[in-house]
Structure 1
């Protein structure tokens, strides 16, 4: 074998050894046994999702689509069974320390952010989704918002459109003006509350809807997202506002399109008035601003006085010329 062949074989051997070494990532037992100190809540999962999209998605790809970068080894899909077999401690250790093409986030992300990412990854688990599907429809309306539980259903006042499995319903607490949106799906005639769904609560406006819920918020374990209606929001003459719950357009590829809306009389009533009732530049002559009217009269008066003065001078010149001629 010539020198060139030996060199090529050596390079291939090194690549193979490195690839094999990276394929077996051993985590110390103490680290593997660590528990996630951050409770898995809608807020934590939402933050984790945003952090994943910012720091992890470029390599690991979209969860559940196995479209990560073709590296060696290929980054594991976080929704896959292979990835979900990791303990929380193993995930935290790997995110913290990194290895090979996997960067270390120890100096980049605070510990809580790393745990939030793990809560988001855990929310992708098929087992967790199956566990959440166990609650029958009759029990799905309790717990999180008991004061409005009876209203959080697809009532005849809803205008609901959906293309995927996820459905949305709105409910309201009249005393605190709190809006509740609930995500659910229908399986075997049961209403199953669905967690981890991005739901946006907004109020319809003329040019652009006003979002009331936090950006990127996900439904909690009972399928709820909530928002408080602002006290100073203008409405129509009857105080009506249209409240909307929907899956954001950016998330519809994964969750499908779902939107529902209801009208509430929670806004500040609009008191109509004629813009010509007050003095203004665009009003009729008798409703012009006083300063403009006085300015106009002063200008006209000044012009008339000037004209009269010029006439008086012309008259004087005429008289002087006439007397000189007679002399």
Structure 2
């Protein structure tokens, strides 16, 4: 087993009487995307700032290791292994994209030759060569975000913290950013992601933790979290009334819609449960005209875990035709 890229045990942070993080535990494996979700004020950005050494958790804040280094004992060693892209761009709009990159190379104490080589490679990698000599203030939001991440990569970090990296981007730019993140992980980089877009976590994250009121409400893969929420079911529709009645009898405890000739069977969407339904239909010699699997999505999970009352529109299961 490799050493986890990030571990936090009993992480706590308070500002006066206000508890922001109330003893959270996190483990992030190397070469994966870990997404931290939560409503505004849940403590996501505070967690990122502590784990990335931007602020200190303070005494009695738990044990934290990043890149194999104890943050309390050796924050400088941890800092050398990480890169951070915050919610707001660190790009200087008064200078060109290339000058932003070279400035970052100087801050990492690269030689002039090495700095120019790394800058050229990253500008090429992030499709910014044509815009390199233009002031960064003229860049689109997506271009600024790409430049922001390129600047983060100048120091060749193995762990990158992305704090809401696609906020404000249009759908195309957001999807381009997703592809960049996937390529980083393919190259062995570990990504710690916070996001307000649940679809983003579903698309990218190997594991997801939901933070609420300073505590981890749930953690797991996207599929594991979706199974926490009731309401999943399989819907079978028939055109033949005889087949419909025979299926209802074969399947037992099901909800029937006689007008639509449709049956609804509680199901968590897993392959095992779906196979069980199909096996029982096969044994009875019945074939449905349409089978639809309804499963909760991360929106449902988010509202269920972070709100005392789930808004009505979020409790409706989503449909994925098979």
TM-score range, shorter chain: under 0.3
TM-score by length of 1: 0.21
TM-score by length of 2: 0.21
* Structure holding more strand per residue: 2
For the pair shown, the structure with the greater C-alpha radius of gyration is: 1
| Structure with higher RCO (Cα < 8 A, 6+ apart) | 2
* Structure holding more helix per residue: 1
